[in-house]
């Protein structure tokens, strides 16, 4: 059984390089210095999140259901993955996300799924993210 290779050094935290590759079928071996993919260097928790996100076809509502977490938590985890991959999180997108959260909260309030106090709490929370 193969183990998942760590992407970062457990001592200093820098990227690990792969020095040998081998084929389990024909026993071919390649020696050299190879980099791992960006996703391989992410912590296991972030790789698992990405897997769920892809499985849910990028639907944040589906990710919420699958992981049992709130919309802002999904957005926070997604932003953390984006940053970990070396990209800048777009603040304009964040403003749009706040509008989405506001619309979802107001919709839940309108349907009687949450109280006015809970709606106010969620709206305040979305503004602090």
Q: Model's pTM, two decimal places?
A: 0.59
Helix (H) or strand (E) holding 65: helix 60-67
Length, in residues, of the chain:
129
Q: What is the pLDDT of residues 103-127, one digit of tens each?
A: 788 888 888 888 889 888 888 887 7
Question: Running along the chain, 129 residues long, what does each successive block of 10 average in pLDDT?
Answer: 79 88 93 86 92 95 93 91 90 63 81 87 77
Helix axes 71-84, 91-110, angle to 10 degrees: 160
Provide the token pair at 79: 């932003």
| Neighbouring C-beta atoms of residue 71, cutoff 10 Å | 18
- In whole angstroms, how large is the CA radius of gyration of the chain? 20
């Amino acid at each position: 059984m193969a183990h998942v290779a760590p992407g970062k050094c457990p001592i200093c935290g820098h990227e690990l390089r792969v020095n040998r590759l081998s084929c389990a079928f024909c026993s071919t071996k390649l020696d050299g210095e190879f980099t791992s993919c960006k996703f391989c260097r992410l912590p296991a928790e972030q790789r698992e999140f990405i897997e769920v996100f892809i499985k849910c076809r990028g639907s944040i509502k589906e990710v919420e259901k699958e992981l049992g977490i709130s919309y802002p938590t999904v957005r926070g985890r997604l932003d953390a993955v984006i940053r970990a991959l070396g990209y800048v999180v777009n603040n304009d997108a964040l403003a749009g996300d706040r509008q989405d959260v506001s619309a979802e909260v107001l919709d839940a309030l309108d349907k009687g799924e949450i109280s006015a106090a809970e709606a106010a709490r969620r709206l305040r929370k979305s503004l602090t993210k």
